[in-house]
Chains A and B, each alone.
Chain A
Amino acid sequence: MAEEVSSQMNSLSISETNPSSSATISLVSGDDIVFKVEPTIAKEMETVQSFIDETDGKITTIPLPNISSHDLPYVIEYCEKSIAGKITKEFEAEFVKKLNNEEVKELFLAANYLNIKKLLDFLSQVIADRIANKSVEYVRRYFGIENDFTPEEEAKLREELAWTFTGVDPDDEDEN
């Protein structure tokens, strides 16, 4: 495993100039970009930390094949704020403003994979806010899911939905 990774790194030819590099952790994104982070950052990522612990700290280069170099900086930024104790409502609001739907979903999966509970909780709330009180069609579109119900099943679901959403607004229909 270790050889594999270091050869991969050589092929990337990303130069090492940081003198305190022995202390840093290298995170390798799915598209083979290396991100140097402080060990304290790695601690925020339970999956990474347990990998380091399992190898007694000998391995400091961690491949993260499921996370792209586009998403990883966001994750690192959030973890940096977290260890600095600077996760505020304002920061989170700014953070989420930068993200489109696709990025929110990808970061949610990344947070789950890396086991960063705070980020996962935060993004769960972001996704929940974006699908709250939306139609089934909207939710399908949001997640890129195809409707796989048969027309018969759909008819039953439509009825169920009608029961769910009438009576919420008392002006919907006249009371007998």
Chain B
Amino acid sequence: EEEEVKMIMMIREWKDIPVELLMQILSLLDDQTVITASHVCHGWRDSISFGLTHLSLSWCSKNMNNLVLSLAPKFTKLQTLILRQDKPQLEDNAVEAVSKFCPDLQVLDLTKSFKLTDRSLYAIALGCCDLRKLNISGCSAFSDKALAYLASLCRKLKVLNLCGCVKAVSDTALQAIGHYCNELQFLNLGWCEQISDVGVMSLAYGCPDLRTLDLCGCVLITDESVIALANRCPHLRSLGLYYCKNITDRAMYSLAQSKVKNKMWGSVNGENDEDGLRTLNISQCTSLTPSAVQAVCDSFPALHT
């Protein structure tokens, strides 16, 4: 009893407020006020360092690089860091600081970091092995070698957005992803024009849990990619094939049939079958006939095209 009273007396000093109480208040505030709060006193700074798991600096339209360099060494428990940019600001040294000081990071958004080079990807690969979600869409300077290296070390990735990473997303990189990132559920490969069936098939074989795959603008892929996905990815719910001009009716019929196969497979495992395509984007797939599309719609009543 006495112990408890003592504890409560301590709380009467606001500089000694427990981490969870301070964080309860700060969780209601914007990131700028959180940074302000970390300047109040040593006690608050240490509490925030310990308690802060989520930070977004996307509002920072200037000085984001300096701010990341300054904050990363303090906020070492971050699990989510959102650094989306309109104008590119981030440089490799900031990403290197994040990788060095924030090993618990699970979600990292670097959308439109045009200035970053492979140095950043290597740093993330070595420092943030726990990463579940990575968004590097629009980071056009990364090479496929660096992306393959990242895939080999960040094996827990579930969500990967590579939209517009034209150089990085090659068949070699996709083979590495298919080989190492077996838990992947969401992958955006929009406008990665150089990939072919070889790459997509390694994904289909290596990532059985894939739920959402966007291949819009991947102009080289053919029916073989879609057939492999239909056969190997029973949980696929959303497939984007916008502008994939090589896709023919064969691909549609393979999707329609996958439903039947998966149902049998699902019932063997006693699963309550929530799976099945919900979203399919086939606009600008000019070779498709209405009857093939109708076959897919008949198989998946919940489907929106």
Name A residues whose Cβ lies closer than 8 Å to a Cβ of B: 1, 65-66, 105, 109, 112-113, 120-121, 124-125, 127-128, 131-136, 139-140, 143-149, 156-157, 159-168, 170, 173
Identify 18 residue pairs between A and B in the complex whose beta-carbon atoms are under 8 Å apart, listed by A's number. A66-B5, A112-B21, A131-B25, A131-B29, A139-B40, A143-B14, A143-B40, A160-B39, A163-B63, A163-B67, A164-B32, A164-B36, A164-B67, A167-B63, A167-B64, A168-B59, A170-B61, A173-B62
Residues of A within 8 A of B42 (CB): 148-149
Nearest-neighbor residue (CB-CB) of A144 within chain B? B14
Interface size range on B against A: 35 or more
Residues of B within 8 A of A167 (CB): 60-64
In the assembled complex, the CB of A128 is this many whole angstroms from the nearest CB of chain B, namely 4
Per-residue CB contact flags for chain B residues 8-38 toward chain A (1 = under 8 Å, else 0) read 1101101100000100111011101101110
Question: Which B residues lie within 8 Å of A163 (CB)?
Answer: 60, 62-63, 66-67, 70
Partner of B32, one of A113, A133, A143, A173: A133
B141 contacts partner chain A, Cβ-Cβ < 8 Å: no
Q: A155 to B14: give the CA distance in the assembly, Å.
A: 24
B41 at the interface (CB under 8 A from A): yes
Contact present for B39 and A166 (CB under 8 Å): no
Contact of A166 among B24, B29, B44, B62 (CB under 8 A): B62
Bound-state Cα–Cα, A147 to B40, Å:
6
Chain B residues with CB under 8 Å of A131's CB are 25, 29, 33, 37
A128-B25, A167-B60 known; A160+B35 contact, CB < 8 A: yes
CB-CB under 8 A from A105, the residues of chain B are 14
Tell me if A132 and B30 are in contact (CB < 8 A): yes
Find out whether the CB atom of B61 lies under 8 angstroms from the CB atom of A136: no
Closest to B29 in A: A128
From known contacts A66-B9, A128-B29, A167-B60, infer whether A161 and B37 are also in contact, taking CB-CB under 8 Å.
Answer: no
Which of these, B11, B32, B39, B66, contacts A112 with CB under 8 Å? Answer: B11
Q: Do residues B70 and A124 form an inter-chain contact, with CB atoms below 8 A?
A: no
Chain B hits for A144, CB < 8 A: 14
- Report the 8 A-B pairs with minimum CB-CB distance, sorted nearest first: A167-B62, A128-B28, A163-B63, A143-B14, A167-B61, A163-B67, A66-B8, A136-B39
List, in ascending order, chain B residues with CB within 8 A of A173's CB.
62
Determine if B63 and A168 form an interchain contact, defined as CB atoms under 8 angstroms apart: no
Cα-based distance from A53 to B176 in the complex (angstroms): 59
Given contacts A159-B70, A160-B70, A167-B63, whether A109 and B33 have CB atoms under 8 Å apart is no
Give every chain A residue within 8 A of B63 (Cβ-Cβ). Answer: 162-163, 166-167
Given pairs A133-B30, A139-B36, A168-B61, 15 additional interface contacts (CB within 8 A): A66-B8, A109-B8, A131-B37, A132-B29, A136-B36, A144-B14, A145-B15, A147-B40, A148-B15, A148-B43, A156-B70, A160-B35, A163-B67, A166-B62, A167-B61
Q: A136-B36, A140-B41, A161-B39 are known contacts. Are A113 and B8 too (CB-CB below 8 A)?
A: yes
* CB proximity of A168 to chain B, nearest CB, Å: 6
B198 at the interface (CB under 8 A from A): no
CA distance A161 to B58 in the complex (A): 16
Q: B52-94 interface mask toward A, CB cutoff 8 Å, 1 = contact, 0 = none?
A: 0000000111111011001100000000000000000000000
Give the distance to chain B from A118, nearest Cβ to Cβ, in Å: 13
A156 CB to closest chain B CB, in angstroms? 8
Tell whether, in the assembled complex, residue A127 and residue B5 are in contact, meaning their CB atoms are under 8 Å apart. no
Contact A165 B32 (CB under 8 A): yes
Known contacts A127-B25, A132-B29, A160-B71, A146 near B36 by CB under 8 Å: no
Residues in chain A near residue B71, CB distance under 8 A: 160
Determine how close the nearest CB of chain B comes to the CB of A145; give it in whole angstroms: 5
Whether A148 contacts B41 in the complex (CB less than 8 A), given A66-B5, A125-B28, A139-B36, comes out as: yes
Determine the chain A residues whose CB is within 8 A of the CB of B28 once the complex forms: 124-125, 128
A124 touches B24 (CB 8 A): yes
Q: Which residues of B contact A149 (CB under 8 A)?
A: 39, 41-42
Within 8 A of A (CB), among B177-230: none
Which residues of A are found within 8 Å of B67, using beta-carbon distances? 160, 163-164
Q: How far is the CB of A28 from chain B (nearest CB, A)?
A: 14
Q: Which of A128, A145, A168 contacts B40 (CB 8 A)?
A: A145
Could you tell me the distance in whole angstroms from the C-beta of A49 to the nearest C-beta in chain B? 16
Nearest to B74 among chain A residues (CB) is A160
Residue of A nearest to B24 (CB): A124
Give the distance in Å from the alpha carbon of A131 to the alpha carbon of B25 in the complex.
10
